[in-house]
Amino acid sequence: MKQGIFTVAENTLLTASVWRMRLVGDTSAITAPGQFVNIRLPGRYLRRPISVCDREGETLTIIYKVVGRGTDVMSRLQPGAQLDLLTGLGNGYDLSPAGDRPLLLGGGVGVPPLWLLAKELIAAGKQVTAVLGFNRADEVFYAEEFAALGARVIVATADGSAGVKGFVTDALDGLDYSYFYTCGPEPMLKAVYRATTTGGQFSFEERMGCGFGACMGCTCQTIAGPKRLCRDGPVLRKEEIIWN
């Protein structure tokens, strides 16, 4: 883990409530897709955890949805603003069990961490299929960016206004995959757990306190005993998960 000051280089609205922010600073502690950064915001006591969407040299990309005061503050930041970040947090996804045809399943703001994962899997010669789930067509983001990487992209929307009608699990019929990686809201993760037929890894974007293992506020039970999702996660393997 590293603490550092990052400068906002870009803050762009992608959909009605989802923003992409590019920040420049010391990204050297970020070692795996699925890790997150924890952002100190003016007037907020707790830092806000956001997944790494991309890391290219000194540029860090995050994608966030405005849901409350902290993310609202973020959306108002202009290029040149400075933020205090903890970087290199969490275990991230393990690429080694991916096989030749990994399947990525993302829901809403669970999509961003899968982008760096797709980039690294494709660079390693894998045939990636990405199923991206949203509520409506106007909430879809990053489908073209996944396709530009070389992934096969399937969009699912709950109301059927774009792509497959339904949830990401409704797009699984007939898909041939060697392993899966997923991130999204917990009901989606539970559905993915039930619908998938191979091993896989789940990233949990639960509420957190300190974000680096000190407060025990994110402890959950697993087959291997209690784990802190911020430090031992946020990625857990399918076989170790115990659902509440």
User: Of the listed pieces 8-16, 64-72, 116-124, 213-221, which binds ligand FES according to CB under 6 A?
Assistant: 213-221
Q: Coil, helix or strand for 119?
A: helix
Name which of 76 and 207 has its Cβ closer to ligand FAD.
207
Q: What's the CA gap between 31 and 175, in Å, rounded? A: 30
Q: Please pick, from the candidates 23, 86, 210, 235, the single residue that binds ligand FES as defined by CB under 6 A.
A: 210
User: Of the listed pieces 121-129, 134-142, 180-188, 212-220, which binds ligand FES according to CB under 6 A?
Assistant: 212-220
Contact flag: residue 145 with ligand FAD (CB under 6 A): no
Contact flag: residue 49 with ligand FAD (CB under 6 A): yes
Residue ranges in 39-58 that form contacts with ligand FES under rule CB under 6 A: none
Q: Please pick, from the candidates 32, 168, 183, 208, the single residue that binds ligand FES as defined by CB under 6 A.
A: 208
Cα 22 to Cα 50, 73, 83: the distances in Å are 13, 15, 12
171 binds, among ligand FAD, ligand FES, none (CB under 5 to 8 A by kind): none
21: left (phi over 0), alpha (psi -120 to 50) or beta: beta
Contact flag: residue 36 with ligand FAD (CB under 6 A): yes
Give the list of residues 6+ apart from residue 150 with CB closer than 8 angstroms, or none. Answer: 122, 128
Residue ranges in 109-148 that form contacts with ligand FES under rule CB under 6 A: none
209 binds, among ligand FAD, ligand FES, none (CB under 5 to 8 A by kind): ligand FES
> In this structure, what is the dihedral angle of CA atoms 69, 73, 75, 81, given to the nearest 10 degrees?
-160
- Identify the CA nearest to 90 among candidates 173, 224, 210: 210
Q: What's the CA gap between 40 and 220, in Å, rounded? A: 25
**Taking a C-beta distance cutoff of 8 angstroms, is the pair 100, 91 a contact?**
no
| C-beta neighbour count of 46 within 10 angstroms | 16
Peptide bond into 234 cis (omega under 30): yes
Residue ranges in 180-219 that form contacts with ligand FAD under rule CB under 6 A: 205-208
Beta bridge mates, 193: none
Q: Cα–chain-centroid distance for residue 199?
A: 19
Name which of 60 and 208 has its Cβ closer to ligand FES.
208
216 binds, among ligand FAD, ligand FES, none (CB under 5 to 8 A by kind): ligand FES
Name which of 90 and 102 has its Cβ closer to ligand FES.
90
166 token code pair: 């339904």
Q: Please pick, from the candidates 230, 234, 235, 236, the single residue that binds ligand FES as defined by CB under 6 A.
A: 230
Name which of 140 and 172 has its Cβ closer to ligand FAD.
140
Q: Please pick, from the candidates 156, 234, 235, 236, the single residue that binds ligand FAD as defined by CB under 6 A.
A: 234
- Residues within the interface to ligand FES (CB under 6 A): 208-211, 213-218, 228, 230
